[in-house]
Amino acid sequence: MNEDRLKYLLERYLANECTPAEQEELNEWFHTWNPGIGGMQSWLQDAGNGEALSNELYTDFKNRLLPPAKRNRRVGWYGVAAAAAVLVAFVILFYPKHQPRQSVAQRDAQQQPANTIRPGSNKAVLTLADGSQIALSDSGHVHIATQSNTEIRRLQPGSIRYHSMQGPANDQRPVYNTLTTPRGGKYSLTLADGTVVTLDAASSITYPVVFTGKERRVEITGQAYIEVVHNAARPFRVSAKGQLIEDVGTAFNVKAYTDEQAVKTTLIDGALRVVKDNRSLVLKPGQQVIVTHNIRLNNHVNIQEEIAWKNGEFRFERVNVKGIMQQLARWYNIEVSYKNDVDHIYLSGVFSRKEEMRNILEVLETTGKVAFQLVDNKVIVSAE
């Protein structure tokens, strides 16, 4: 089986799209690649220590697809999968352009004890109307608090829900809460109207406990994926860095980080209106509005890349190294510095957000374009 066929089959397997014949072909390859194991499916189910196994597979895949005899050749890039009981998503590996060199881990071992930078997790802080704060994680009581005759309950790991115990009066004064995720955190919130908001790392949403009046308005910073319960009589509106986003029965992603110049709103389903400085654009599914000093429509947006974070992935398609490190810094809660100019370097790859950061950096290094050094909780980036 050649690399292109393997890449195709692995992508279909991880998307649960394999036909029985393709599954059998993949099982046969896996059995040949790793004798003594009765097929990929049964091996995954029987795997014990998923984390250790995924790291072992990651190294083994890389060694087999990047044999020493080929590491000096300039031959493009291939996709591989690092699979385990938790099924770490496939990553895109590039062949190096230069002579083999020490990996991130090897350099760390020479300079200091190896430091493990773990991925982010479900954590957030809920700020109530009186200013008191509640730390949220995957554990704790089902009942969290009560605000304005509305109970806040833990739904499942990484998720809370507002449940109104009586209907609100239209003239009731709104009471606001704020949900904030730190760097290295992610959390989901179901508002009182049933709208679901998922926050990425270093993000926040401020919202009324119960929606009253003629509109439902919330304020977002950072990145959020929003699935709106439509109500024509009471439109749902999002304020984000000076722009207003209004749904017409919608699922959309808004990216409005304070350390990024552009605000990007991507429509997944339904219809959406974005207003900035008295100018408005109406989006169709698959379109994106980008707001900087002006407002413009992007008809060629990669939807999978925009919402990869919600699906537990990093997905980079010719993204500048600084843009990649900006995303990694938020999720792994690290600092980043640069030894030299990397503005000309663009890389591609798909990684699970459950991976240790060192694994991702090692794969990116195989391009031969960039190198990384880990020092405590800091990554130093240099162009090769």
Written in H, E and C, the secondary structure of the chain is CCHHHHHHHHHHHHCCCCCHHHHHHHHHHHHHHCCCCCCHHHHHHHCCCHHHHHHHHHHHHHHHHCCHHHCCCCCCEEEECCCCCCCCCCEEEECCCCCCCCCHHHHHHHHCCCCCCCCCEECEEEECCCCCEEEECCCCCCEEEEECCEEEEEEECCEEEEEECCCCCCCCCCCEEEEEECCCEEEEEECCCCCEEEECCCEEEEEECCCCCCCEEEEEEEEEEEECCCCCCCCEEEEECCEEEEECCCEEEEEECCCCCCEEEEEEECCEEEEECCEEEEECCCCEEEECCCEEEECCCCHHHHCCCCCCEEEEEEEEHHHHHHHHHHHHCCEEEECCCCCCCEEEEEEECCCCHHHHHHHHHCCCCEEEEEECCEEEEEEC
Q: What CATH number has the domain spanning 47-117+312-384?
A: 3.55.50.30
* pLDDT tier at 232, thresholds 50, 70, 90: confident
Give the chain's mean pLDDT: 79
- Identify the pLDDT of residue 365: 94
Q: How far is CA 79 from the centre of its chain?
A: 19
> Quick one: what percent of the chain has pLDDT higher than 70?
68
Question: What pLDDT, on a 0 to 100 scale, did the predictor assign at position 318?
Answer: 92
**pLDDT at residue 332, rounded to an integer:** 96
Q: 376: alpha, beta or left, given left = phi > 0 and alpha = psi -120 to 50?
A: left
Q: Which amino acid is at 267?
A: L
Q: Predicted confidence band at 304 (pLDDT cuts at 50, 70, 90)? A: very high
CA–CA gap between residue 61 and residue 158 (Å, rounded): 32
CB 96, CB 366: distance < 8 Å: yes
Q: Which pLDDT does position 82 carry in this prediction?
A: 34
To which residue do tokens 């998922």 refer? Answer: 198
Can you read off the two tokens belonging to residue 199? 């926050």
| 121-306 carries CATH number 2.60.120.1440 | yes
78-117 exposure pattern, b = at least 16 Cβ within 10 A, e = fewer:
bbbbbbbbebbbbbbbbbbeeeeeebbeeebeeeeeeeeb
pLDDT at 31: 54
**Two tokens, residue 354:** 């459950």
Is pLDDT of 243 > 80?
Answer: yes
Q: How much is the pLDDT for 104?
A: 62
Q: What is the pLDDT of residues 101-147, one digit of tens each?
A: 555 655 555 555 456 788 999 999 999 999 999 999 887 789 999 99
Highest mean pLDDT among 90-104, 192-206, 290-304: 192-206
Determine the pLDDT at residue 294.
Answer: 86
Which among 252, 245, 270 has a CA at the least distance from the CA of 307?
252
**Where in the chain are the domains?**
47-117+312-384, 121-306
pLDDT at res. 3: 58
Q: How confident is the model at residue 50 (pLDDT cuts 50, 70, 90)?
A: very low
